[in-house]
Structure 1
Amino acid sequence: MLLLALLLPLGASATHIVGGELDLQHSTGSNYTLTLNLYFDAINGSAGALDQSLIAGIFDKTTNQRLTLVTLPLTSNTFVQYTNPACAVGSLSTRKLVYAKDIVLDATTYANPAGYYVAVERCCRNLSISNIVNPGSAAQTFYLEFPAVVRSGAAFIDSTPRIFPPLGDYACRGELFYYDFGGVDPDGDSLVYDMVTPLNGHSTAAANNTAPLPTGAPYSPITWNAGLSTRNQIPGSPALGIDAHTGRLTVRASNLGLFVFGARCSEYRRGVKIGETRRDFQLYVLNCPTNTAPALQMHLAGSIINYRPGRDTLRLLPSGPRCLTIRYTDPDANSVLTMTSRPVNFTVPAVTFTTTATGTVRAATDTLTTTLCFPECTDTKGKVYLLDLIVADNGCSLPKHDTLRVAFTATQPPNAAPVLTTSFPPAPLPISDDVPAVVRVTMGQRYTATLAGTDADRNALALTATGAGFDLAAVGMQFTAQNGTGQANATFSWEPSCTAVAIAGEGGLLVHFQLAETGPCTPLPQTRTVRFEVVPAADPAVFKPANVITPNNDGLNDFFYMPDLPLDFCDQKFANIRIFSRWGQQVYSSSERGFQWGGMGTGGLYYYLVTYTDGRKFKGWVEVIL
């Protein structure tokens, strides 16, 4: 959570509350965690005012009826770490107190489309606040809104957006103060920010009313001093404001003092507001030592001409220099300067410093130098990319910067695609993974193919083969590659088995062959996809069993048999033969492919039925002549 720490004038009389915010996070099902982050003045606040628990109320937005009270026990008590310890002041120390409790928001109770709100009331604020009336009697109401947990009969889950940590602890009069108040939302909702007047509520400085049971809205706001308002909470040029989209707070305060301010983060889902949380903070404005901003200049390595922002565009070519020389300095002696780069309208590639980008200016005449290089593979694809070069000092309360925006175009070295040739049959045009080549391999025979890759750019080549959803070795496929620079060769071989047939099913086995190259900025891999199908060995040309036998023991046509039966193919096997009399009585049965039947000793017409395990059947008749 974001914190702006309180810094009070020495000797000032003060109470203990600096600010805070409520937070509601979904865990599982109907379970949520309700949290209050409260900031406590560890220097001027009394340790006796440190609550061991606080009470939150949950209310219906339509009726303001209180649905429940939740006791939030103190679960964490830590000191706030400041952005730049070197800028800290000894009289400034703030504790972050976390009060949290797991709660259940069931769909039967929290189903009002208008939503709900949570409130915690506590008194009092610091006496030294400069911008509100009677600050010693001003209380605080911590407030957030959340939607119904069910919508259109379905669960509707929402968590409070999380705000980033602080970037500064106090502001210097006449200097621009800023920090990133923008947050992230666990649900991906859109966030909108605005300034709001902090809420006072019903608690008072009376000893028995500093932490009353929260009651329903409306909550009275604090009262601004004359000339101040929600839009002018901390006077200056500019006055304190927040960017609606980014959450960036800025102010160049014109007055010294301690200022309370309020900001709101509203969350929207599909264009509809579903919740909000308010954050109540304080900012101290003081006189700071003069800090002059650093300055930088830049030119291409090997050139003495400085880059002119807004006029020059760098053109980075494959054969030309790709590094920038940056010189930066600061009129303030003993300033520590840090160089960073930030893409403006692109995300890749990362531009890196090849020399130290942080150094100390010992005197106003010192100049630091660093080198920034663009990767060889930077390619702006004909567009102009913008890169900010930023030098920052270590001044208080916030660093001062100088930014130089560099416009550049870049092209990468050319690369010709490698060539892949194979002995596989050609695929139907156009060649693609969706229309692979088909290779039919006969059971019991070995199939062999060769692959060769060449590259005119002499990049390193590698040939690989990958089964689509199966391991090549598991089905007996073998792939051996000899990879190298500018050339690669491979051999593929396979003798299918019934195991492979079972894995392939009716769709065959799909294998992706790839020729990959390494070294170029944009590799151009070549692929071939082949579908391997297993077919049985060719059946006898004619299946015409004899239909007459003469079982007279003369060695001619004594038995009925079928030497030309269709061949077995894995699980598609001969199952049995049965022979029936003309009246349908079974007279013979055998599960042996090499059966021999010599008749029943009775001449006449008989009928046979041959069955295979895959359901195929062959019917016919045979006549026995005695």
Structure 2
Amino acid sequence: APLSLQGQGIGFNFAAYQMTFPPASSISPVSSVFKWTPTCEHLKAKDKYQLQFIVNDQTNKCTVRNADILLVDVNLLPPENTAPKLHFDNTDQIPFNRGAFELNNGTKINFTIRGTDEDIDPQDELQLAMTAAAGNPMPKNYIFKPVVGKGTAASPFTWQTNCSIFKNHETSNLFAFVFKVTDNRCANPLDASDTLKIRVLDPVDEGEFTPPNVITPDGDGCNDFFAVENIPEAICGVRLLKINFPKDNCAHAFEYIKIFNRYGKEVFISANRNFRWFANDAPAGVYYYDIKFSDKTFKGLVNVVR
């Protein structure tokens, strides 16, 4: 007997969802092929589809036709997915200590923040972003841009530290930067977050210094000037002790030196910690200096002998 075969969606149209099932007519048996490749958009639209297939006996017997209906329920499931991973590529090999990357103030920090998809085929599109930054005070002037990449998403993180990140004479401060990578796996996106912890130190130099108290500016190259920093270890055969200033930090930094004669007149000033005072045209006698640091002033005297 001649048969006809056709299909349709319950509550939707095959063509609207890229389903194909060509109608067929034939002497029994009759067949046709249903084809459909579900996409993410189909899954987002709904996860259950009901298909109806109808076969009709086209023989007209007393105006009565026989038919059979097959209902097929299709449940779409989200694809399997593995969460992406975050990596902090330590470009400058900053040491890791006490749960954080640790470095001295004034150092430029360079990391590459990198997210990777752990699925091999297909690989997902990844979105990489910073979601939080914390510290006291709040960190500023760091550079990081969110990025998108297929399989891998990477972006540099840079930060030039300075004294603005310290307050109340602190010598150590901890900062935290939170990053997140998210994949776009169909109806089953996953993400990963991790925190980059950076401890910035402001080293304290407790070294004492005692400036020389006599100079002989007679041009013979021996003890001709008054200075503190980088004085030669030996002058004219006399071995001297090194008396460099303590190293600057945010709470204790060299600002200037002023030298006065016995009448209180300023005869020399310098903001260079490597200053040299040659006492040109200064008569022999006692002179007084103020060496100003940001947190204290050192006072003393120097004799000019001619």
Give me the TM-score of the superposition, normalised by structure 1. Answer: 0.27
Give me the TM-score of the superposition, normalised by structure 2. Answer: 0.48
| Higher RCO (CA 8 Å, separation ≥ 6 residues) | 2
